[in-house]
Amino acid sequence: MSEQSPKSPALSNLSREERRFEPPAELAAAANVKEEAYARADADREAFWAEAAERLDWGTKWDQVLDWTDPPFAKWFVGGTLNASVNCVDRHVAAGNGDKVAIHWVGEPDDDTRDITYAQLKDEVSKAANALTDLGVQKGDRVAIYMPMIPEVVVAMLACARLGAPHTVVFGGFSADALASRVTDCEAHVVITSDGGYRRGAASALKPAVDEAVEKTGDLVRHVLVVRRTGQDVAWDDARDVWWHDVVDGASAEHEPEMHDSEHPLYVMYTSGTTGKPKGILHTTGGYLTGTSYTHWSVFDLKDDDVYWCTADVGWVTGHSYMAYGPLANGATQVMYEGTPEKGRWWQIIQDYKVSIFYTAPTAIRTFMKQGREVPDAYDLSSLRLLGSVGEPINPEAYMWYREVIGGERCPIVDTWWQTETGQILISPLPGVTAGKPGSAMKALPGVAIDVVNDDAESVGNGNGGYLVIREPWPAMLRTLWGDDQRFKDTYWSRWEGLYFAGDGAKLDEDGDIWLLGRVDDVMNVSGHRLSTTEIESALVSHPKVAEAAVVGAADETTGQAVCAFVILREAAGDGGPDIVEELRKHVQKEIGAIAKPRQIMVVPELPKTRSGKIMRRLLKDVAEHREVGDVTTLADSTVMDLIKGKEGSAASED
């Protein structure tokens, strides 16, 4: 594109100030949220969130904003009642926006598209709510959802929300075992699925995994509701299985919604802990919808005519908060895409639908960097005005590439920090208000009390690193772990009295801006020095031959831990040349210092990633420490570890 310079300036040639992104004055003037919000929220946090809650439609208004008399069990908007699905659909239709497109759905294969208006969505959700009622689903019952990225998954979620039946969406890439354990843990009597889905143009099956999972759960599951997506043959149990088109399509589009208590459970989202069984994160209705809708509106500076696209799968929390509930509560128009990131396809979609706000993960950005800028450069991306990043720290090199190649140096980037547990974004720049620094998520949002503390829970102050904690409750916070209050307390609230411990390390720079350093368990201690895996990964990725890097701290007799790195080279770098390992070690030394110089670097073809794109450092640590590689069942591709082990020793260098 013409306004972009042909080549990305090498990051190391830019000064700190040159890397900063100062929002243009027009953006500041038009921003939904102004600078004053920070001080206003500090002065009266509860009043601030009450104002955010006013953006929703309530049946009965609350009589107390926050009940925090029994920490860590928070209650928000106590006494209030509302219906999440009414807030996401009915009210937009009532306001005269029924013809506005809610979802531009883009399927695989690519000629399969659907545009769904808010009025159509309301009808579908009402029909599905009636059908679920006929299948025996009542308020409070749990419903498991195991589906591909098709509009029916959103309809199913909202229908559950309408009935007050908490859903648990299980990512379609998870195994039958994973589905079974989640169905069992939350005792779901109904599972909603599809015959299959499309991945890279080919049909894959889902129903067989459901059959297997249901088998494992004894007689728990009474009905399986099946959307026909691919038309493939499926095994059928007449007593249990029901086609979606048989019971939903013909159902009445009239459904009188009940108003639910603000603290009524909305959904359970399972997330893996470091060990043991997955944790069922419980989110409730009023606070969650307040937190997600407010942050979607403020962080993405949402305007009426925006076309928003969050690339996350609905099976993860990002898909819940920033594809389903946040954008729909705000009446936004969004893109929903069934496929996975393939060369050029995303940019084609941005061009075709004139996407203005784009929200994705650093891992995707680095994948695209690897493909080279010629790919996105072939498309018209001028509709974009705002870019978001989520899920892991974004290394400055990827940030700069995103800003320049995708954003044409005109789009602010919001690097958003949050967790399944937090429900909503808590740390992010506000477009037009906060400057951007590549690699920093910048500041806690208004109304959010973030701190960085040392082992004794004392604030570390500017210029120092420590643990990321949250000092005050926030509306979309998890309420507990499903059925396990004790584990909830132990996991998040036991390290320091009254503080929520996020599990992340962070540092405050001289300006007080926040730099996330990765999970604390990924922070290494080398000869008594604290080193961040992320920082070293950034250094490696800033080398022109490196596409992706993962660093682990491996046990070392002399230094406690030693830095071990795994790198994927860029396509253009070939095999990197005979001295690649030494070259990279020197590069890290130059970027950070001798202490950070990796003991070992392995050039590998792939990195082990979970289906959400997170690198599983635990497995790399096994390789680095010459152990049998542990459980690989949550890897997106379980053969990756064989490829990496095959390389062991071949590219290692040790002093």
Residues that bind ligand WT7 (CB under 6 A): 271, 317-318, 390-393, 415-420, 441, 502-504, 516, 519
Instruction: Give 373 or 614: the residue with its C-beta nearer to ligand WT7.
Output: 614
* 322 in Cβ contact with 312 (< 8 Å): yes
Minimum CB distance to ligand WT7, residue 311 (Å) = 12
CA distance 482 to 213: 20
Minimum CB distance to ligand WT7, residue 313 (Å) = 11
Which of 178, 161, 146 has the alpha carbon at shortest distance from 285? 161
Q: Give the Å distances, CA to CA, from 333 to 195, 230, 304, 576.
A: 28, 26, 8, 45
Instruction: Give 241 or 392: the residue with its C-beta nearer to ligand WT7.
Output: 392
Instruction: Give 329 or 470: the residue with its C-beta nearer to ligand WT7.
Output: 470
Minimum CB distance to ligand WT7, residue 292 (Å) = 12
Minimum CB distance to ligand WT7, residue 145 (Å) = 18
Minimum CB distance to ligand WT7, residue 67 (Å) = 26
> What residues contact 12, with CB distance under 8 A and at least 6 apart?
542, 591
Instruction: Give 194 or 311: the residue with its C-beta nearer to ligand WT7.
Output: 311
SS (H, E, C) 317-348: HHHHHHHHHHHHHCCCEEEEECCCCCCCHHHH
Minimum CB distance to ligand WT7, residue 398 (Å) = 12
* 541 in Cβ contact with 395 (< 8 Å): yes
Which residues on neighbouring strands pair with residue 560, listed in sequence order? 526, 556
Q: Which two tokens stand for residue 92?
A: 């937009």
Instruction: Give 244 or 358: the residue with its C-beta nearer to ligand WT7.
Output: 358
Minimum CB distance to ligand WT7, residue 421 (Å) = 6
Q: What is the DSSP string of 267-328?
A: EEEEE--SSSSPEEEEEESHHHHHHHHHHHHHHTT--TT-EEEE---TTSHHHIIIIIIHHH
Minimum CB distance to ligand WT7, residue 550 (Å) = 14
CA distance 117 to 276: 43
* 328 in Cβ contact with 296 (< 8 Å): no
Instruction: Give 317 or 563: the residue with its C-beta nearer to ligand WT7.
Output: 317
Minimum CB distance to ligand WT7, residue 523 (Å) = 11
- Which H helix or E strand runs over 102? strand 101-106
Burial of residue 284 (CB within 10 Å: 0-12, 13-18, 19+) is buried
**Which amino acid is located at 575 in the chain?**
D
Instruction: Give 391 or 412: the residue with its C-beta nearer to ligand WT7.
Output: 391
Instruction: Give 19 or 354: the residue with its C-beta nearer to ligand WT7.
Output: 19
Q: Which two tokens stand for residue 578?
A: 């005979």
**Which amino acid is located at 276 in the chain?**
G
Instruction: Give 72 or 505: the residue with its C-beta nearer to ligand WT7.
Output: 505
Instruction: Give 193 or 634: the residue with its C-beta nearer to ligand WT7.
Output: 634
Burial of residue 374 (CB within 10 Å: 0-12, 13-18, 19+) is exposed
* 378 in Cβ contact with 344 (< 8 Å): yes
Minimum CB distance to ligand WT7, residue 390 (Å) = 5
Instruction: Give 318 or 480: the residue with its C-beta nearer to ligand WT7.
Output: 318
Minimum CB distance to ligand WT7, residue 170 (Å) = 14
* 294 in Cβ contact with 275 (< 8 Å): no
